[in-house]
Structure formats: structure tokens, C-alpha cells
Structure 1
Amino acid sequence: MEHRYTLTVTWTGNTGEGTSTYRGYKRTHTVEAEGPPELLGSADRTFHGDRERWNPEQLLLASLAQCHMLSYLHVCVDAGVVVTQYLDRPTGSMKTEADGSGRFTEVVLHPEIVVTDDSMIEAARDAHRRANALCFIANSVNFRVRHEPAIRASA
């Protein structure tokens, strides 16, 4: 089965001179798709972007974290693990080269998970491997995605 996704990215950073100079334009843009609200984007501040807007690197990190969480919750249902809280603070490492190219080298997800009973903690930990195998986004990148979960039972 094939799924297709569409959206529109519109550059909004022409300050009147177009791209006549490297610093003469803004990296601002909008991302739109049918349904969700417009997303305001830019480049990372390091690359002359607007720190008040989302950058592609953050969005890649968010996509990996979201996809893993959704896959994980599904796997937990199948495994009989009752998750009551899930919070993740993912981190990503990107390396840039002298020629201006770059790539992510690793992403580490740091999910903090609460389950209803101590007896579920080991199965909750094991569910990360299966969730990673199911995650569409993790299966689409060419760098390592690791998981460092903290799991506890509710008091």
C-alpha cells in the first residue's frame, strides 16, 4: 500500500532584492497543508535564520520523536502495557562540512514514560525496539536513532 503526502512551502523572505546577496534575503517561509494551521519556518539561527520560527532540523527531530511515540503507544497496547504519561526531549547531532554541506549523525530520543504497574516496566522498555522497527520516519533516515527511556510506574 502506498501513501502520498502533499504540502506547500512558500518562501516569504524576499526583502526587495531577491537573492542578490547572501545576507540580503531572509530565510523565512510558510509550510501549509490541508487541515492543520500554517507553520512558520526559517533556517537555524546559525544559518542566518529567524530563531522565532521552526527550522528544518527541529522539524526532523520532531518528526522522529512523534513517529516513535505513536508507534510506541501502539506497541504498548499490543503488549498489554498501560502507558499513562509520555514526554520526550529528543536531541540531535548534525555535522557540517567546509563546503557547506552537512548531515545528521545521530538522534537520541529521551522518552519519560509512566505505566500503571511495576510489572509492566520491562515490557515497556522492550517496546522501544519494536516501535523503532515500525517507525516510518526512523526507517527513512540514514543515521542512527537511539532511545534512552526512563520508565516508572505511577505511585
Structure 2
Amino acid sequence: MWGEHRYSVRATWTGDRGTGTSGYRDYDRSVTIAIDGKPALLASSDKPFRGDPSRWNPEDMLLAALSECHLLSYLHACVQAGVTVVAYEDEASALMVEDGHGGGAFREVVLRPRVSIADASMTDAATAAHAQAREWCFIANSVNFPVRHEPTILVAGS
């Protein structure tokens, strides 16, 4: 498994209203994102940037990637630590700040995983597995802003 991994995606703008980008308000921000063999993802810009709020935007996708990457890394860390996870749900949030010059950046992401484990004796290891997951998460290791964790560990049936 060591080595390089390459990924490809096709993003197709579908928002031409007949006059292309003749003006800022003259085109739709609709995009179709596709990867061969996977369902297409309908995307747009965020609503404040004239986008369609019913579609995924790049900020949504970045937050989702961080949340899912931590989830998958965490499950692996728990297996290695002998922790049996029976449920996992994350209520993640992000803060992005515009710079006043047309750009901006994420300032932080907070993951709030709510994890149910099989036995109370696993609680300390389940808590510690979040730090290991952070080290293993490819996406979190690729961003230049903090990704904080505020986990809750529950014991199933309690």
C-alpha cells in the first residue's frame, strides 16, 4: 500500500444560459462532478456566491471529506486498539472567512464525533484513537488550518 495514489475527477460547467459568462449575473454556477463508475454529483457555488443551495458546493465537499476521512481512520485505529465501535455519527462544522478581495480561507474545522462502543472498558482506548486517526487522516494532513475534535464516547446499551 505504500506509494503514490492518483485521483481524477471531471468537473463540467453546466450553467451557460445562452450568453456564457457575458456578465457576473448572466450565468449559472451549476457544475456536474463525475468520476468514472460513480454517480455524478451535482454541485454549485455556495448561495452567497450566486449558487444553488440545493447542490453541493466546494466548501461542503471539503468539510465532508475531512469528516469522512477522520471517521474511516478512526474505525481503523479502533480495530488496532481492540475497541468495538457499534455506531458513529459526526456533526462537523467549518468556519471560512472572506478576505475582502474576492478570496478567503477556511480558519478551522470542528469534528464532533459521537461514538458508541460495545463496552465501558474500551472508553479510554476509544478516546485515544481519535489522536491516532488525526495522524492517519490524509485529508487533515493536507490542509493548512486546524481540524479540532470534540468527541463524545458512549457505551451501547447504557
| TM-score greater than 0.5 by the shorter chain | yes
1:146 and 1:27 map into 2 onto residues whose CA distance is: 31
Measure how far apart 1:88 and its partner are. 0.5
1:106 and 1:145 map into 2 onto residues whose CA distance is: 6
After TM superposition, the runs of 4+ consecutive aligned structure 1 residues lying more than 4 A away are none
1:32-79 Cα shifts (integer Å, max 9, x gaps):
001210000000001000011000000000000000000000000000
Secondary structure at 2:130's aligned position in 1?
helix
What residue in structure 2 maps to residue 46 of structure 1? 48
1:92-145 Cα shifts (integer Å, max 9, x gaps):
000001101100000000101000011111110110001000000000000000
Q: Is 1:20 matched with 2:18?
A: no
What residue in structure 1 maps to residue 131 of structure 2? 129
**Superposition pairs of residues 141-152 of structure 1, within 5 angstroms:** 141-152=143-154
Identity of aligned residues (%): 53
Q: CA RMSD in A?
A: 0.5
1:153 and 1:86 map into 2 onto residues whose CA distance is: 12
Q: Structure 2-normalised TM-score?
A: 0.97
**Superposition pairs of residues 1-155 of structure 1, within 5 angstroms:** 1-155=3-157
2:53 and 2:93 map into 1 onto residues whose CA distance is: 17
Q: Structure 1-normalised TM-score?
A: 0.99
Aligned length: 155
2:9 and 2:60 map into 1 onto residues whose CA distance is: 18
Amino acid at match of 2:124: E
1:44 and 1:119 map into 2 onto residues whose CA distance is: 44
2:126 and 2:38 map into 1 onto residues whose CA distance is: 31
1:34 and 1:24 map into 2 onto residues whose CA distance is: 31
1:110 and 1:53 map into 2 onto residues whose CA distance is: 24
**Gaps spanning 5+ residues in structure 2: where?**
none
